[in-house]
Structure 1
């Protein structure tokens, strides 16, 4: 009886379950032949660059054990950089170098790392220990995103990212993922990061969830996580909408980062985005996706420009009573 009432309550809120996500959205809207475009970060980055979508600059890629010897040359002119697996998932295998100390490297957490340790880490990436399915992989060395002052106040060590769910080019839900001490500076909810719902219309933060519990402040910085406005929000929505045109994937998770010098950048794409965004948003994906699908039926398959799709989503999914703060009010 309890579970029956729970299921009815969830259905009434328009909450999407994992079976619905897999059967009604991922299988329906995402052709398997297109998965490699987003499962391999190097392919995704190259496509984005060709389409004029901002991404963190690629300094180099190492594909073989012999290629590890080129690492010193690749990073020679960079004091900071990121090493990541091309086919990794959940933030595993990512190493962030924030500075140098004589002949050593300093991680984002302050740990001193030797050249041998970097090379050993890359060797592990190549062997596939971080990749989807354990397949041979390649290591990417790229620009380290520098977070904005606003985001630095509401995160611990790492760089927050923005996840936007896109259905057939229409943004339907968005959240900000904030690193914590527990998540070791990673914006990964399963490892202890905070999920903060975002009003699609304004980019205003709605409140946080940590381990599925509502919170008002960041546990490490003690700063409020609600009522803040994500900068360049219009650009974020436009970028997310364009990723549908880029890949052809109809149900997509778009992960963005906000760089203090370059603005919003696409970090990666996900053909199987998780469902925790519903907790952060306090709203169901099924309800929101249904609104878009009804709209698509009325259009009878007619494609609309990205700007028009974004405007539709802003109107349909605006949260009542949310007012963006002026930039000076967020200082």
Structure 2
């Protein structure tokens, strides 16, 4: 068995899939594959998540949208997207026209076309999908300082209601401002007890500072850390999953918010933290 950092056994893909088949019920997996239904389930148990401004379920509903009543800032996303694709952000509204966080105008026809693409399943593994409008998340200043633009997030691996491993994912120029490790975002190990960064990796290279901003990562403290762990711990009760990955962001005003719950969390966290999941996820 492969090991990292001494005697921590690594979990491979086959072992992970066997674990998921044993402990995660099919109904629970179907639930978390639906972002809207997952948010309802999280809300029922008091877990913090971003509210839904509007759900668009069909092209017929587009004509009934009261655009004048929409907020100045929002996030438009697919209900069942792959890899975070298909997200459109509006940061403000000037003279009736929304603008992206970069200041690019978002005319109404552009927004409507994006809604149609979501409904047509362009960003989903399914033939059709729903479009969700949510309040725009504004990153906590302490988190924004660690990142290059984009929205940094925290992945917490839980067994039942017990957090076992955590990492921070920080956007970079190379990742296009996305917190995607496969696109060379920074992965940073977070100590569960203290909420501080203990190790950081970009690609296969261990680093101490963010490659774009130069901001020191090692020793950085994650704000509201006890609340982050408390949010992750509620995901099992909300979804019925026994093994899961909770993706959490920290909003400047609202604090920790659960973005997604994953029934099949990836294995990269082992390389980032230097700890194998083989021992961390024993049931």
TM-score normalised by the chain length of structure 2: 0.94
Partner of 1:22: 17
Compared CA separation, residues 95 and 124, structure 1 to 2 (3 A): same
For 2:45 and 2:2, locate their aligned partners in 1 and report how far apart those are by CA, in whole Å. Answer: 44
The partner residue of 1:104 within 93, 97, 122 is: 97
Partner of 2:57: 63
Alignment of 1:145-294 (within 5 A): 145-290=137-282, 293=283
Aligned length: 282
For 1:34 and 1:143, locate their aligned partners in 2 and report how far apart those are by CA, in whole Å. Answer: 26
Kindly indicate whether the alpha-carbon contact (under 8 Å) linking 1:26 and 1:271 is maintained by their aligned counterparts in 2.
yes
Query: Secondary structure, in 3 states, of the residue corresponding to 2:194?
Result: coil
For 1:192 and 1:286, locate their aligned partners in 2 and report how far apart those are by CA, in whole Å. Answer: 25
Kindly indicate whether the alpha-carbon contact (under 8 Å) linking 1:240 and 1:254 is maintained by their aligned counterparts in 2.
yes
Query: Secondary structure, in 3 states, of the residue corresponding to 2:139?
Result: coil
Larger Rg: 1
Partner of 1:53: 47
Alignment of 1:124-163 (within 5 A): 124-131=117-124, 133-163=125-155
Matched, 1:117 2:107: no
State the Cα distance separating 1:20 from its structure 2 match.
0.8
Query: Secondary structure, in 3 states, of the residue corresponding to 1:254?
Result: strand
Query: Secondary structure, in 3 states, of the residue corresponding to 1:155?
Result: coil
State the Cα distance separating 1:112 from its structure 2 match.
2.1
TM-score normalised by the chain length of structure 1: 0.81
State the Cα distance separating 1:120 from its structure 2 match.
0.8
State the Cα distance separating 1:99 from its structure 2 match.
1.5
Compared CA separation, residues 74 and 239, structure 1 to 2 (3 A): farther
Query: Secondary structure, in 3 states, of the residue corresponding to 1:58?
Result: coil
For 1:190 and 1:62, locate their aligned partners in 2 and report how far apart those are by CA, in whole Å. Answer: 31
In structure 2, the gaps of 5 or more residues are: none
For 1:96 and 1:77, locate their aligned partners in 2 and report how far apart those are by CA, in whole Å. Answer: 13
For 2:203 and 2:134, locate their aligned partners in 1 and report how far apart those are by CA, in whole Å. Answer: 31
Partner of 1:81: 74
In structure 1, the gaps of 5 or more residues are: 1-6, 294-331
Kindly indicate whether the alpha-carbon contact (under 8 Å) linking 2:42 and 2:239 is maintained by their aligned counterparts in 1.
no
Kindly indicate whether the alpha-carbon contact (under 8 Å) linking 1:108 and 1:157 is maintained by their aligned counterparts in 2.
no
- Structure having the higher helix fraction is 1
Q: CA RMSD in A?
A: 1.7
Measured against aligned partners, the alpha-carbon deviations of 1:207-259 in whole angstroms (never above 9, x if no partner) come to 21111321222122111112111111111111111111111111101111101
Kindly indicate whether the alpha-carbon contact (under 8 Å) linking 1:83 and 1:142 is maintained by their aligned counterparts in 2.
yes
Compared CA separation, residues 140 and 283, structure 1 to 2 (3 A): same
For 1:31 and 1:120, locate their aligned partners in 2 and report how far apart those are by CA, in whole Å. Answer: 37
Partner of 1:95: 88
Kindly indicate whether the alpha-carbon contact (under 8 Å) linking 2:232 and 2:246 is maintained by their aligned counterparts in 1.
yes
For 1:185 and 1:151, locate their aligned partners in 2 and report how far apart those are by CA, in whole Å. Answer: 14
Runs of at least 4 residues of structure 1 off by over 4 A?
7-12
For 1:149 and 1:107, locate their aligned partners in 2 and report how far apart those are by CA, in whole Å. Answer: 20
For 2:175 and 2:93, locate their aligned partners in 1 and report how far apart those are by CA, in whole Å. Answer: 24
State the Cα distance separating 1:164 from its structure 2 match.
0.3
For 2:211 and 2:99, locate their aligned partners in 1 and report how far apart those are by CA, in whole Å. Answer: 25
Partner of 1:32: 26
The structure with higher relative contact order (CA 8 Å, sep 6+) is 2
Measured against aligned partners, the alpha-carbon deviations of 1:112-141 in whole angstroms (never above 9, x if no partner) come to 22111111111111011111x233100000
Query: Secondary structure, in 3 states, of the residue corresponding to 1:269?
Result: strand
For 2:67 and 2:154, locate their aligned partners in 1 and report how far apart those are by CA, in whole Å. Answer: 29
